[in-house]
Chains A and B, each alone.
Chain A
Amino acid sequence: MNSSSQHRLATQPAIRAFEAFRAPGFSFNSNNLDNAFGGTGLKRGQISEICGPSGSGKTTLALNVAASALSAGYKVIWIETCQRIPLERLKYMLSCQVQSSQAEEVEPTEDVLSLLEIVHVPHLAQLVVFIQQMNLQKKIEDENLGLVVIDNLSTAIQLAFPTNPDDYHAARARSERRRTQSLSSASNKENISPLKRTPVTGTTTESSSSHTVNSSFPKARESMKLRKKRVEGELSSMLSRMASFYQAAVLVTTQLTSKIEPGAGAKMTPFLGRAWTSSLANRLILYFRHPTSEIRIPDDVRRDSSAHISTGDHRKLRYGYMAKQATPNASDRELVFYVRPTGLQDLQVISISSSQRRKRILSEVD
């Protein structure tokens, strides 16, 4: 195998790319989300990420999009890393979904489901090989491919790249230095509350250089952190190639990890860092919060309860904001949803002031 072929850009007739670009995206079954993703939902040829804690709705949204793609007659490849695709829910969504305008008649669910292929990759190495294979094979093998879902990517990466305790010290030292620098900057004052900082009693140095604790390693051996960064970048470009080669939408779900911010405690932050986000078209962050007074829950939604009633409206609400958008149009908006069996139902869109927005932005890991 010629190693340079890994890096050659995929070529394709421009007309196909243009068609895919103009074609309606795959709907999330939510107007607000479809708008946030460019107007009609998840667009083909792009990589998008949904990032959020357990139970926030990542898989739900991925199922919605998969149902949309299947209903529109496209092939969907669902890649599982640590949990099975909830097929019953997908079938339910398919049966509920409004028929897309491209289909001429209603297809029975089994026929539509036959367009779905599931791939089980408990280890990152298997995922890498699968994507490499997709990028090498002739396009005709998966000609009708419209969507690839990876659910989820963070667990697979975490397993392949265990945290090195030494990296932890280095990261803390770096964030301490950054914090010292940012405290003196006037524009960020509202972000930090003047709390006492616990002294770090580790082996971190006071040096202001950006070397990691492992800088004494010979160049030939990367630290775990650098390796992880490199592989995140590789995955990013491999998926870009795949998205572009097949003109398919790629949707990746990821989880949040936590990092200790001195004085502020543990903060949740996206698992994948900048090496990954550079090729992303869209990044949706899902999260939870108690409803503020601005939230009005309509009576019919309030009355809507299954046989098992949950305590408190706040358990049924989900929030989202676009940390990255291909077509920036809603970055100062907070989307509010209500959880229904069919997915996330639009409830409200809240405008947030730019200072509020800054406070909410999750800091990204390097």
Chain B
Amino acid sequence: MDSWTLRSIDFVLADEYMQVFERERITTIDLLTLEPTVISERCQIKLEEVQNLIEQLKKALLPQRITPDARETHFFTTGDTEIDKALHGGIALDHITEISGESGSGKSQFCIQLCLTVQLPKSVGGLDRAAVFISTESGLETRRLFQLAKFLSLQYPNDDLSYLSRHPGDRVYTILCPDLESQEHIIEYQLPILMQRVNIGLIVLDSVAANYRAELRYSRNHPNASSLGNIATRGNQLAKLASNLRELAHKHNAAVVIANQVSDRVSRSYDQIGLFSLDYQSQWFNGWDDTDIDPKTPSLGLVWTNNVTTRLALLKRPNSATRKSLRKLRIVYSPIAPTSEIDIAITLEGLHTVSEDT
């Protein structure tokens, strides 16, 4: 019985029914699509009871219709107007945004920056809301948080950001998830409680891949029974994770930003047969393709890709002409904004676009 569907609509099923349905492997969808007589026979429950239960369930599941004027998409600023423009507004609420890149590409920096910009007053593009930073690696770099906060207040001189610059961490909640089990538990049970107590506008998960890669190992080049099973299990867990985060994002009109690790992209040559191979098609939705100098692939595969609404990539690319590393922010896909690429730099003041005269 997929209890999470019921939980999300606050439908409470009596224990005796729960047990029977679990035993007979009857899911919510089954209750809606199988003949009530079949369910009644299989579970040994009176037909009228089954029909009654189904009626109640349907009432609880029936969605509302919403009018467009109640549905404006809201954003908060990334701290840089050019990046906001490329994203057609900034970081979207009720939305999952992924930022992938190599270590050192600036993912965590960007996430820390967003933990600050979400706290900014609405007048300058913030939400005046808190952030929660869920780390699966080494935690939030508080020194950097304080450093960025100081510069942020300099960026908006007309507004009184003295409190933010002195106490930037007051409204940033941090959680550390050392393994997959704690990660799942925290996101499924603890995070919802936190969000009910505190007005959180941004959920950061840095990074989503770490615990999955450590625990559910597989190798694409040498697939065997257990590794294929792991891929399937991992896919299910990722779909569930994304669903939980989407639900929170929707319920609280918050943004979700997820950092993802990358691995090297293996370039292969293709003929006609390879057109629909994952390796070939993924050049357009992974963020890197074979024309890039050192192409990468975001972790966690196609199931995860299919659950990401907006995908951004941070590129560190050595420019052999000037021997300088040019960084780029790429919008790989987004329902809100077209694909594009912006030159960026990461300095003391944070992650921002490079102006023409620099």
Decide: A360 and B28 in contact? CB cutoff 8 A.
Answer: no
| B335 in the interface (beta carbon within 8 A) | yes
| B80 in the interface (beta carbon within 8 A) | no
User: Shortest beta-carbon distance, B300 to chain A, in Å?
Assistant: 13
| A182 in the interface (beta carbon within 8 A) | no
By secondary structure, the A interface counts as mixed
Decide: A133 and B278 in contact? CB cutoff 8 A.
Answer: no
| B279 in the interface (beta carbon within 8 A) | yes
User: Shortest beta-carbon distance, A260 to chain B, in Å?
Assistant: 6
User: Which of A56, A116, A124, A133 contacts B29, CB < 8 Å?
Assistant: A124
| B153 in the interface (beta carbon within 8 A) | no
Decide: A53 and B281 in contact? CB cutoff 8 A.
Answer: yes
Whether A160 touches B29, Cβ cut-off 8 Å, given contacts A53-B284, A203-B225, A306-B340, is yes
Cα(A151)–Cα(B284), bound, Å: 21
Whether A258 touches B233, Cβ cut-off 8 Å, given contacts A53-B284, A125-B61, A172-B228, is no
Cα(A343)–Cα(B224), bound, Å: 43
| A245 in the interface (beta carbon within 8 A) | no
| A244 in the interface (beta carbon within 8 A) | no
User: Which of B32, B42, B339 contacts A128, CB < 8 Å?
Assistant: B32
Whether A311 touches B291, Cβ cut-off 8 Å, given contacts A119-B66, A162-B239, A257-B302, is yes
Decide: B232 and A164 in contact? CB cutoff 8 A.
Answer: yes
In residues 42-78 of chain B, which contact A (Cβ within 8 Å)? 42, 51, 55, 58, 61-69, 71-73
| A129 in the interface (beta carbon within 8 A) | yes
Decide: A155 and B276 in contact? CB cutoff 8 A.
Answer: no
| A17 in the interface (beta carbon within 8 A) | no
| A154 in the interface (beta carbon within 8 A) | yes
| B214 in the interface (beta carbon within 8 A) | no
Whether A193 touches B273, Cβ cut-off 8 Å, given contacts A89-B336, A129-B61, A130-B63, is yes
User: Shortest beta-carbon distance, A254 to chain B, in Å?
Assistant: 10
Q: Note all chain A residues with C-beta closer than 8 A to B25.
A: 221
Q: Note all chain A residues with C-beta closer than 8 A to B55.
A: 1
Q: Note all chain A residues with C-beta closer than 8 A to B306.
A: 54, 154-155, 158, 255, 257
Whether A129 touches B32, Cβ cut-off 8 Å, given contacts A85-B71, A198-B223, A315-B339, is yes
Chain A 59-85 near chain B by CB (<8 Å), digits 1 or 0? 100000000000000000100001111
Q: Nearest residue in B to A115 (C-beta to C-beta)?
A: B68
Decide: A155 and B339 in contact? CB cutoff 8 A.
Answer: no
| A121 in the interface (beta carbon within 8 A) | yes
Q: Nearest residue in A to B33 (C-beta to C-beta)?
A: A234
Cα(A362)–Cα(B66), bound, Å: 37
Decide: B243 and A122 in contact? CB cutoff 8 A.
Answer: yes
Chain B 94-114 near chain A by CB (<8 Å), digits 1 or 0? 110000000000000000000
Whether A82 touches B309, Cβ cut-off 8 Å, given contacts A87-B72, A117-B65, A159-B243, is yes
Cα(A163)–Cα(B309), bound, Å: 22
Decide: A55 and B283 in contact? CB cutoff 8 A.
Answer: no
Q: Note all chain B residues with C-beta closer than 8 A to A108.
A: none
Decide: A360 and B63 in contact? CB cutoff 8 A.
Answer: no
Chain A 149-176 near chain B by CB (<8 Å), digits 1 or 0? 0000011001110111101110010000
| A312 in the interface (beta carbon within 8 A) | yes
Cα(A164)–Cα(B25), bound, Å: 14
Q: Nearest residue in A to B292 (C-beta to C-beta)?
A: A311
Decide: B307 and A82 in contact? CB cutoff 8 A.
Answer: yes
Cα(A120)–Cα(B63), bound, Å: 7
Q: Nearest residue in B to A234 (C-beta to C-beta)?
A: B33
Cα(A266)–Cα(B225), bound, Å: 16
| A287 in the interface (beta carbon within 8 A) | yes
Decide: B67 and A118 in contact? CB cutoff 8 A.
Answer: yes
Decide: B63 and A121 in contact? CB cutoff 8 A.
Answer: yes
| A231 in the interface (beta carbon within 8 A) | yes
Decide: B95 and A231 in contact? CB cutoff 8 A.
Answer: no
Whether A265 touches B33, Cβ cut-off 8 Å, given contacts A118-B71, A154-B306, A163-B236, is no
Chain B 123-140 near chain A by CB (<8 Å), digits 1 or 0? 000000000000000000
Cα(A5)–Cα(B340), bound, Å: 51
Can you list 24 A-B contacts with CB-CB less than 8 angstroms, sorted by A residue number?
A82-B242, A84-B73, A84-B95, A89-B336, A118-B65, A118-B66, A118-B67, A119-B63, A120-B63, A123-B5, A123-B8, A124-B29, A125-B29, A129-B62, A129-B63, A155-B239, A160-B5, A160-B28, A162-B239, A168-B229, A265-B277, A307-B85, A308-B340, A356-B272
Known: A55-B311, A310-B340, A356-B272. 11 other contacts (CB 8 A): A54-B305, A55-B284, A86-B335, A116-B67, A117-B65, A165-B230, A202-B228, A227-B27, A231-B29, A257-B302, A311-B341
- Interface positions of B (Cβ within 8 A of A): 2, 5, 8-9, 24-25, 27-30, 32-33, 35-37, 42, 51, 55, 58, 61-69, 71-73, 85-86, 88, 94-95, 220, 222-225, 228-233, 235-236, 239-240, 242-243, 246-247, 250, 272-273, 275-285, 289, 291, 302-303, 305-309, 311, 332-333, 335-336, 338-342
- Interface positions of A (Cβ within 8 A of B): 1, 3, 53-56, 59, 77, 82-89, 110, 113-114, 116-126, 128-130, 132-133, 154-155, 158-160, 162-165, 167-169, 172, 191, 193, 198, 200-203, 220-221, 227, 230-231, 234, 255-258, 260, 264-269, 287-289, 306-312, 314-316, 339, 341, 356, 359-360, 362
What 9 pairs across the A-B complex have the smallest Cβ distances? A55-B333, A202-B225, A308-B340, A165-B229, A162-B236, A266-B278, A288-B284, A163-B232, A129-B61
